[in-house]
Amino acid sequence: MPIHSHTYENGLVLVAEPLGSRESAAFNLLVPVGAAYDPAKLGGISTLCCELTLRGSGERDSRQFVEDLERLGTDTGESVSVSHTTYGGAMLAENLLPVLGIYADLIQSPHFPEEELEAARQGVIQELRAIEDEPAHKTMLELRRNYYGDPWGRPSQGSVPGLEAAKIADVKTHYQRYFRPEGAVLGVAGKVDWDELRDTVGELLGSWERAALPEPAEAGSQVQQRHITHESAQTQVGIAWPCTPYSDPEYFQAWGAINVLSGGMSSRLFTEVREKRGLCYSVHASCHTLRDRGSVLCHAGTTAERAQETLDVTMAEILRLTDGIESSELQRLKARMKSALILQEESSSARSSAIARDWYYLGRSRTLDEVGALVDGLSRESVNAWLRANPPRDFTFVTLGPKPLEVPSAVS
């Protein structure tokens, strides 16, 4: 089935993939405001704003909002990243348009009840403090912060001082300034009628007032190496290096190379670091992308006694990528990628998320057949050519544990 798109006069983009064989439908709405747009002294206000939009809008109070979505059998979710606030939902196809009506109110006329501010604030603060009990999560947040710098490395949770400083007037100002249709993308997939969907979304969100959105200023630089002292029997190791972003035509070559490094139980990191040597309980690497830049983020969790060896062996495998991948590794990689595509084809939620994400990064959305062709087009020669042009280098290291580690001499 073709993917349809329409841009409304206010700048909102609707992109939809009808899946006639489904009885379900799903949507993902990307609003282009995230942690990168938080004022310096109000870190976390985008997340606080998102939380408060769920506490009543239009003619519904907080309780009625929840009850109406449950009555329509909606499985909902929301999140804040460095660049977006995302709202999503999945339901029976017949309930899609009424659910979109509820979210149209949420986006355009949230109540922001002052009496709900403290409860919302404490919920976000508890989430932030819980990270202290998750060393691996904390390490990777710090790795992104140190690799990307400010503002693109900011964690969405913000900071306790920033959250505590936020007043209801600050939340309203943040909403009025940034919750705009310009740059917003609504992705829908499932059993939908395109003409009806396009017209209904126009009625619901066509009057959403547009305004010019300021770009966040880039103020922070990368930090190449950082150690966080943490008294524990374990050590967390985070490694980052530059990688092709999703918007680049060669992204799938990069993705293929990194999946050979870390993509399943036959990957190099799992085999060499965990299975053969038993150095760690967790090791993985993946591509991370922003609109105009990307990275590989790698994590290993191990005992303090074996942390240095874990770092050394992990770095040896990362650097060994420059020697290229083997044909057998490519065959396994393609099989995993094809399986992932088949599973995505079965999910309206996965497709609505994918086509919205594609539009944000590419200005268009790829069909599964197009993605499949890109996978089929991968060859040992093309992946190895990308590796020769983009060898792992310019590393950022973050470690968390009882004592610092030494960066291997090959990369220092």
Query: Average pLDDT of 257-277?
Result: 91
411 pLDDT above the threshold of 80? no
Domain that holds residue 363: 225-401
Q: Final residue of a domain: which of 154, 177, 205?
A: 205
pLDDT of 412 over the 60 cut: no
Q: Is residue 254 part of a domain?
A: yes
Q: Is the pTM of this model over 0.85?
A: yes
Write b or e for each residue in 331-341: b if 16 or more Cβ atoms lie within 10 A of its Cβ, otherwise e. ebbeeebeeee
Average pLDDT (394-400) is 96
In a domain, 54, yes or no: yes
Residue 200: pLDDT over 60: yes
pLDDT value, residue 333:
87
Q: Are the C-beta atoms of residues 162 and 230 closer than 8 Å to each other?
A: no
**Is the per-residue pLDDT at 133 higher than 80?**
yes
- Determine how many CB atoms are found less than 10 A away from the CB of residue 65: 23
The per-residue pLDDT for 161 is: 96
Asked whether residue 406 is assigned to any structural domain, the reply reads no
Instruction: For residues 95 and 169, state if they share a domain.
Output: yes
Q: Which residue has the higher pLDDT, 148 or 215?
A: 148
Say yes or no: 232 and 118 in one domain.
no
177 and 247 share a domain? no
Domain closes at, from 151, 176, 205: 205
* Per-residue pLDDT at 185 exceeds 80: yes
Q: What is the DSSP letter of 409?
A: T
Cis status of the peptide bond prior to 151, with omega within 30 of 0: yes
Same domain for 197 and 325? no
Please tell me the distance from the alpha carbon of residue 223 to that of residue 330, in angstroms, as a whole number: 34
pLDDT at 342: 74
* Distance between CA atoms of residues 330 and 340, nearest Å: 15
Look at 412 and 233; give whichever has higher pLDDT: 233
Helix residue spans in 92-159 (DSSP H): 96-108, 117-130, 135-148
Q: Are 352 and 76 in contact (CB under 8 A)?
A: no
Q: Are residues 262 and 374 in the same domain?
A: yes
What's the confidence (pLDDT) of residue 258?
96
Q: Is residue 321 part of a domain?
A: yes
Strand 225-229 relative to strand 396-401: parallel, antiparallel, unpaired? Answer: parallel
Assess if residue 169 is contained within a domain: yes
Specify the number of domains making up the chain: 2
Question: To 10 degrees, what angle do helices 327-345 and 380-389 make?
Answer: 100
Nearest to 216 by CA among 290, 160, 159, 288: 290
User: Has residue 308 been placed in a domain?
Assistant: yes
CA-CA-CA-CA torsion sign (150, 154, 159, 164)? positive
Q: Side by side, which strands form the sheet with 24-31?
A: 4-7, 13-18, 185-190, 24-31, 85-92, 75-80
Query: What is the C-alpha separation between 366 and 348, in angstroms, rounded?
Result: 15
Are residues 162 and 230 located together in one domain of the fold? no
pLDDT at 159: 94
Cβ atoms of 53 and 150 within 8 Å: the answer is no
Q: Are residues 75 and 159 in the same domain?
A: yes
Q: Does residue 179 sit in the same domain as residue 247?
A: no
* Same structural domain, 328 and 275: yes
pLDDT of amino acid 21: 77
Paired tokens of 178: 């940034």
Residue 119 lies in a domain: yes
Question: What value does the mean pLDDT of the chain take?
Answer: 94
Which whole number is the average pLDDT over 230-245? Answer: 96
* 236 and 381 fall within a common domain: yes
The tally of CA atoms less than 13 A away on the side-chain side of residue 370 is: 10
268 and 183, same domain (yes or no): no
Examine residue 43 and state whether it is found in any structural domain, yes or no: yes
Say yes or no to pLDDT of 305 above 70.
yes
For residue 398, the surrounding DSSP H or E stretch is strand 396-401
pLDDT by residue (tens digit) across 278-295? 999 899 999 999 999 999
Q: At what angle do helices 327-345 and 368-376 cross, to 10 degrees?
A: 170
Evaluate if residue 410 carries a pLDDT over 70: no
- Looking at residues 18-27, what average pLDDT do you find? 90
d(CA 215, CA 15): 24
Q: pLDDT at residue 153 above 80?
A: yes
Q: Are 32 and 44 in contact (CB under 8 A)?
A: no
pLDDT band at 408 (very low <50, low <70, confident <90, very high): confident
Q: What is the CATH number of the domain that holds 88?
A: 3.30.830.10
Question: Which among 177, 205, 233 is the end of a domain?
Answer: 205
Query: pLDDT grade, residue 334 (50/70/90)?
Result: confident
Cβ atoms of 37 and 218 closer than 8 Å = no
pLDDT band of residue 137 (cuts 50, 70, 90) is very high
Measured in residues, the chain has a length of: 412
Least confident of 5-19, 167-181, 200-214, 354-368: 200-214
* Confidence grade of residue 216 (pLDDT, cut at 50, 70, 90): confident
- Report yes or no: 150 and 405 within 8 Å, Cβ to Cβ: no
59 shares its domain with 143: yes
DSSP string, 9-41: TTS-EEEEEE-TT-SEEEEEEEES--GGGS-TT
The per-residue pLDDT for 385 is 97
